[in-house]
Amino acid sequence: MRINAQNLAKIVDKYHNEKSSLIAVLQDVQEKYNWLPPEALRLISERLCVPLIDVYSVATFYRAFSLTPRGKHVVTVCSGTACHVRGAPTVLDRIRHKLKIEPGCTTPDKNFTLESINCLGACALAPIVVVDGKYYGQTTVQKVDQIVDQYQPKKRKRKVIRKRKK
């Protein structure tokens, strides 16, 4: 993936090239590209005068950052105690089978990334699934298809052209 250096410079300039803004810069880059491409990390390192190893340290420390391409939609399933007890393993299993990927992976069409997280801190909503920041509480196996299907790309209808009889 080619990174537009000018766009990246605008992001860094927004924070006045301050070293202390590294996390904010990484968040903005992640939002723009849906992951942190290596080329972007090198450019951030240069622009902020932060050693590349430190940029990588921050990018790998926080779970919110991804060093691999992510899907257009990120599906997160909570596996915390409350969610686990209320059925999260079967919900996760249904999502795995529906998307045909394991947690930590992205579908071949780059539409979905599936993640499993230890706790989302929304135990009252257990089990919980989050898609692109939208929370779906008390998720059941029966609700999974409905949740996932709304994020599937719309299929175009093909026009059927029929020849007229003469």
| Entry pTM | 0.75
pLDDT-derived band of residue 162, with 50, 70 and 90 as boundaries? low
pLDDT at 86 over 60: yes
55, 49 Cβ separation under 8 angstroms: no
Total domains present in the chain: 2
154, 106 Cβ separation under 8 angstroms: no
Examine the domain organization and report whether 47 and 85 are in the same domain: no
Domain that holds residue 34: 5-61
- In the chain, what percentage of residues exceed pLDDT 70? 92
Distance CA 100, CA 108 (A): 10
Examine the domain organization and report whether 54 and 15 are in the same domain: yes
Residue 115: inside a domain: yes
CA-nearest of 16, 20, 60 to 38 is 60
Examine the domain organization and report whether 50 and 10 are in the same domain: yes
Residue 126: inside a domain: yes
Question: What pLDDT digit, counting tens, does each position of 16-68 carry?
Answer: 988 999 999 999 999 898 899 999 999 999 999 999 999 999 999 998 899 99
In this prediction, residue 156 carries a pLDDT of 60
What does DSSP say about strands 129-131 and 112-117: parallel, antiparallel, or unpaired?
unpaired
Both tokens of residue 38?
């290596």
Average pLDDT over residues 125-130: 96
Name, in order, each residue with C-beta under 8 angstroms of 147's C-beta and a sequence gap of 6 or more.
Answer: 129, 131, 136, 139
In this prediction, residue 164 carries a pLDDT of 64
